[in-house]
Structure 1
Amino acid sequence: MSLFRAARFEISIARPQDLPAPNGAEIAFAGRSNAGKSSAINTLVGHTRLAYVSKTPGRTQLINIFRMNNGAALVDLPGYGYAKVPEAIRKQWVRLLEEYLTSRESLIGLILIMDSRHPLTPLDQQMLGWFAPTGRPIHVLLTKSDKLTRGPAMQTLAKVRKELAAWGDNITVQLFSSLKKTGMDEAEKIVSGWLSAEPVAEEVLDEQRVSKP
């Protein structure tokens, strides 16, 4: 069975102080509003409604924790960057995201969701700036890759891979499509490597590791 299958909802959190005590490894999912984060989570777990999908950006306003059968958790963080969110709410999200990403001891890695048509926005770079200094791995999913033809998609992948090198060596990146269900195996191999603390298969690393300039 897939690593992510049978994940179940556990709890929603609005404030950092309400986070439960660490209980197993946590893998966080973060991304700009409407970048396809909820769709990516649903695709990976094989459940159409585990993470709420909305055409209205900014609907994910809480930290939502989903528990997998192996005891590890998938942590869906609030989407960031939606301009119509009230300033007070936006500040609350920023504090929630920053505190969780920089202080959570059980967090072992970050899945960063970027729309393949608009990668590495300033807010994406801010997320990298928060998390990369922790030394924990980051894996970037370039979502909605089905919107690009193969040539532009591969060019985007190469460009993002090169630019991510500025944030260190512990970053991998791949193309992903929730609609076409492509990229699922690659993402699962990366996360499996994090959970087992064993090196990911060399062929996966060769395909996805960020190249140094």
Structure 2
Amino acid sequence: MTKLWQARFYKTANHLRDLPKLDVPEIAFVGRSNAGKSSAINILCNQKSLAYASKTPGRTQHINFFSVGGAHVAQHRHDPVDEKKIELFLVDLPGYGYAQVSGSAKNHWQKLLSDYLITRPQLKGLILVMDSRHPFQPLDVDLLEWFAVTGKPVHCLLTKADKLNRKESTDSLKQTDTILKSYIDESGKLFPFSAQLFSSTKRLGLETATAFILNLAG
């Protein structure tokens, strides 16, 4: 059992003013709408429906916060969360790619996402969720390049790795590492980017991803 198993739904934010006021580390998950982000959060927290996996990708337009610490394990428990004991927030950001929303709603959603990622001091790093069969689609690249200016770590989860054979898995990870190592700052240093294979179905890569999140949160 890990601390992530203590995750509980905390709140939903539709504006920056709605963000939690607690000064605790936040680790955010982001990715294309069909990359398996919700499934990754659920399996890492050992819960079936902590993060809502919609049958209509792109429907979620809000930022959802899950607290770690201050409550018993399991989402179905209804005991109150002791905010003084919250150690970490896992943050589920809206999926991007083909959101089924109106233009004005999409503009609001994109601004909320960008403002959170760039200005939130509690944000310690980003988990970029990508389908291992199709890593670094144009929107993934745009997000990575845009977030790189913060200097914060990005860890890529290459999901659905169970759908690849061994050679395909190796090639996907190698391709991802090569792309990540191509990002160098003005002083010539590599950005703090990393990657791993992951499968919610086969529980592949859980320990590595969990360790990264907890270490990043301190």
Which position in structure 1 is the counterpart of 2:73? Answer: none
Which position in structure 2 is the counterpart of 1:10? Answer: 10
SS in 2 for 1:4: helix
The one-letter code of the counterpart of 1:140 is C
Out of 129, 137, 143, the position equivalent to 1:121 is 137
The one-letter code of the counterpart of 1:107 is L
Cα deviation code 1:93-130 (max 9, x no counterpart): 21111100000000001001001111111111121122
Which position in structure 1 is the counterpart of 2:191? Answer: 169
Cα deviation code 1:123-156 (max 9, x no counterpart): 1112112221111111000011111111111101
Q: Give the Cα separation in 1 of the matches to 2:13 and 2:92.
A: 10
Q: Which 4+ stretches in 1 moved above 3 angstroms?
A: none
Which position in structure 2 is the counterpart of 1:38? Answer: 38
Q: Does 1:144 align with 2:166?
A: no
TM-score by length of 2: 0.86
Q: Does 1:106 align with 2:122?
A: yes
Return the offset for 1:71: 1.4
Return the offset for 1:59: 2.2
Return the offset for 1:83: 5.2
Q: Give the Cα separation in 2 of the matches to 1:165 and 1:184.
A: 23
Count of residues in correspondence between the two structures = 196
The one-letter code of the counterpart of 1:166 is S
Q: Give the greater-gyration-radius structure (CA).
A: 2
Return the offset for 1:169: 3.0
Q: Give the Cα separation in 2 of the matches to 1:55 and 1:86.
A: 18
Q: Does 1:19 align with 2:19?
A: yes
Cα deviation code 1:26-80 (max 9, x no counterpart): 0000011111000000000000000001232112211000000151100000001
Q: Which segments of 5 or more consecutive residues in structure 2 lack a partner in the other structure?
A: 70-85, 184-189
Which position in structure 2 is the counterpart of 1:190? Answer: 212
SS in 2 for 1:29: strand
Q: Give the Cα separation in 1 of the matches to 2:25 and 2:98.
A: 29
Which position in structure 2 is the counterpart of 1:208? Answer: none
Q: Which has the higher contact order (CA 8 A, sep 6+)?
A: 2
Range moving further from structure 2, 114-123 or 37-46: 114-123
Q: Give the Cα separation in 2 of the matches to 1:6 and 1:117.
A: 31
SS in 2 for 1:10: strand
Q: Does structure 2 conserve the Cα–Cα contact (< 8 Å) formed by 1:108 and 1:136? A: yes
Q: Does 1:58 align with 2:55?
A: no
Q: What percent identity do the matched residue pairs reach?
A: 48
Which position in structure 2 is the counterpart of 1:201? Answer: none
Q: Which segments of 5 or more consecutive residues in structure 1 lack a partner in the other structure?
A: 197-213
SS in 2 for 1:141: strand
The one-letter code of the counterpart of 2:202 is K
Q: Give the Cα separation in 2 of the matches to 1:123 and 1:22.
A: 31
RMSD across aligned positions (CA): 1.3
